[in-house]
Chains A and B, each alone.
Chain A
Amino acid sequence: MVMEMIGGLLPELSLIAGSFVILLAMARIDEGRWPATVAFVSLAFASLFTLAQLTELPGLGFVPQSGTVLDVYEISVFAALLKLLFLVGTAIVVLASPGYMDRASMQAEYYSMLLLATIGMMIVASSQDMLTLFLGVEVTSFASYILAGSFKSEPTSGEAATKYFITGALSSSLVIFGMSLLYGSAGTLTFAGLAEFWAGQVERYASLGQPALYLFMYEPIQAISVFMVLAGLGFKLTVAPFHMWAPDTYTGAPDTVASWLGGVGKGLGIVALLKVFLWALAPLETGWEPFVAGLAILTMTWGNLVAIRQDDIKRMLAYSSIAQAGYLLIVLPVGTSYAIAGGVFHTFTNLLMKGGAFLVVAAFAYAGIGTKLQDYEGLGRRNPFLAISLTVFLLSLAGIPPLGGFWSKFVLFSSAVDVGVGGSWLWWLAVAGIVNSAISLFYYVRWIRTMFVETTMHPKEIELPAGITTAIAVCLVAIVAVGFAATPVIDWGLQAGEALLAAAP
């Protein structure tokens, strides 16, 4: 019993051990690159244990592949697959950080907080009730606020942390207040119990001959609770109109932190929304479906339109990240296992291409190059590797075949078309997504063209630390490879989707 519990929690325990070792050893050892090494090793162990939850690994038989820990923490394909993505994404950021983060006064804390933020996301992926979910969201949020302020002596970093903290606190209180009202109506906090309660409510209205949507009119408290949770978690995913913190935070935060927030961190919001809306609130789908679908279209359009007029690359990437949140949001109203596969897939490609793009920005910033459009002129000559990497990431974000970003968007949009064939209006989501991809290509190409424009400036070589070059190369190879081998990833995603839907009624 105790052994099984520990076996199930090994991925999380490895990270907790790593982050605590860093925090405790920090007082004694303050020089060198050891915190990054400790963080990387603990991430490697956590990935190994998570992999053992997905496939039989010889010698790791003590890690259970499914089940629950103490009835609150599920071990499933869905949870394990997402955990693996988060761990790999964080490992890439850790790999890229030494060198760039040298100007931060607190090296050790930075790596410790990165690990803690990842633990929170793993808790969310495994949650089975509102309390666990909320704790996971908060652990990630607290660590992210601190990460955004890592450059303590730089006013922009301090401002980013301040703005992030204030909006984050508001969104957390929306989530917890909505949860308290949900608890008041349903009398339970478990996803299974809530789903049962909502199924009963919908059935009651159906027996009166009224559509489930009327429930929101006759029982406003229940409507308010659902919308508060949606808005609160929407803040975390940067869903418009709750996105206003993201451009400021991504711009002011250190570039590697922006890479984590825009890449890996995007998973927090979407996983929490998947858990709540496709499990706990699944029976109420006809009620929230039009609102969430509307938010998806609004988010992708808003993000892309505002991104057009940005002449700062970090702001452009931040708004494009909001647009990615809009694409991810397609998963909720469609709600099939194919759509969830698309969501998982896009979470994966997003952490490669968005995380990678921010890492290229970090590399340029390390070389003393600014973030404005004119600063990027002629960079194709000065460092072809970085310029070509950024080009690939941006094209992948726009969804150009055969890159990974094309396939993940393809799965998302075609899942919407699939239900559209069945007579649902949700195929409009696919139309909006395709139109938006076309719009986004416009501003991505502007940046790509700028990099390869000829300048009279004397071309000077850019020297980079090995870590960040490796990290960018990993993202580059992975995003291209995923484009040519999309099928296994979609298969994994389908299994995850079926695991999540099997839990829901």
Chain B
Amino acid sequence: MAVELATWWYVALSGTLFAIGTWGLMNRDNAIMILMSIELLLNAANINFAAFSAAHGAQDGFTFALFSIAIAAGEAAVGLAIFVNLFRLQDSVDVSKATLLRG
């Protein structure tokens, strides 16, 4: 199925966001920055879904994006709870300080 050339600009944008998010997830130690990177990663896919859905003239991509927004909210809530607990345990949200488990 042919996708219009203009759509690929959206894919370029989402690809860039995905790359930034991956870089942030790998290189940032602060838990809040990690949560923000995760939001970037999930929303990069949403841009794709919206752009492709418009290009295909179908609704299922938009539907997926809606569900995905709800999932991102759930992910943030669970992540925040885990990081709050981490802060209680080690008085810091620096995830690089969590080094009890290794081997």
Contact = CB atoms under 8 A, between A and B. Distances in A.
B11 A172 contact: no
B85 A152 contact: yes
Nearest to A169: B38
A145 B85 contact: no
Contact of B78 (A131, A145, A173, A252): A145
Given A169-B38, A172-B75, A159 B48 contact: no
Contact of A187 (B34, B58, B79, B99): B58
B89 A248 contact: no
B103 A312 contact: yes
Interface in B42-73: 42, 44-46, 48-49, 51-53, 55-56, 58, 60-61, 63-64, 67-68, 71
A197 to B, nearest CB: 8
What 7 A-B pairs come out closest when comparing CB atoms?
A: A173-B41, A180-B48, A184-B52, A159-B98, A248-B101, A176-B45, A187-B56
A283 to B, nearest CB: 16
B71 A165 contact: no
A181 B48 contact: yes
B41 A170 contact: yes
A172 B18 CA distance: 12
Contact of B3 (A159, A166, A184): A184
A76 interface: no
Nearest to A174: B41
Contacts of A248: 101-102
A68 B34 CA distance: 39
A135 interface: yes
Given A169-B41, A170-B41, A187-B58, A155 B82 contact: no
Interface of B: 1, 3, 7, 11, 14, 18, 21-22, 25, 31, 34, 38, 41-42, 44-46, 48-49, 51-53, 55-56, 58, 60-61, 63-64, 67-68, 71, 74-75, 78-79, 81-83, 85-86, 88-90, 95, 98-103
A142 B74 contact: yes
Interface in A296-339: 310, 312, 315
Nearest to A159: B98
For A142, A152, A183, A248, the residue with the greatest tally of chain B CB atoms inside 10 Å of its CB is A183
A166 B52 contact: no
A177 interface: yes
B69 to A, nearest CB: 11
B11 A179 contact: no
Given A184-B11, A312-B103, A173 B18 contact: yes
A145 B89 CA distance: 17
B52 A162 contact: no
B101 A252 contact: yes
B48 A162 contact: no
B18 A162 contact: no
Contact of A161 (B49, B52, B55, B82): B82
Contact of A173 (B45, B52, B60, B82): B45
Contacts of B99: 159
A203 interface: no
For B46, B53, B64, the residue with the greatest tally of chain A CB atoms inside 10 Å of its CB is B64
30 contacts: A134-B64, A135-B71, A142-B78, A146-B81, A149-B85, A152-B88, A155-B90, A156-B100, A158-B82, A158-B86, A159-B89, A159-B98, A159-B100, A162-B31, A162-B95, A163-B101, A165-B82, A169-B38, A169-B41, A173-B45, A176-B45, A176-B68, A177-B44, A177-B45, A180-B48, A183-B53, A184-B11, A184-B55, A185-B3, A252-B100
Contacts of B34: 166
Contacts of B60: 131, 183, 188-189
A252 B71 CA distance: 26
Given A166-B95, A173-B41, A183-B61, A155 B22 contact: no
Contacts of B63: 131
A162 B25 contact: no
A18 interface: no
For A152, A173, A315, the residue with the greatest tally of chain B CB atoms inside 10 Å of its CB is A173
Given A145-B82, A252-B100, A180 B49 contact: yes
A186 interface: yes
A183 B41 contact: no
Given A135-B67, A161-B85, A177 B1 contact: no
A155 B100 contact: yes
Nearest to B34: A166
Contacts of A310: 103
A289 interface: no
A156 B1 contact: no
Contacts of B85: 149, 152, 158, 161
Contacts of B95: 162, 166
For B58, B79, B95, the residue with the greatest tally of chain A CB atoms inside 10 Å of its CB is B79
A173 B42 contact: yes
B1 A185 contact: yes
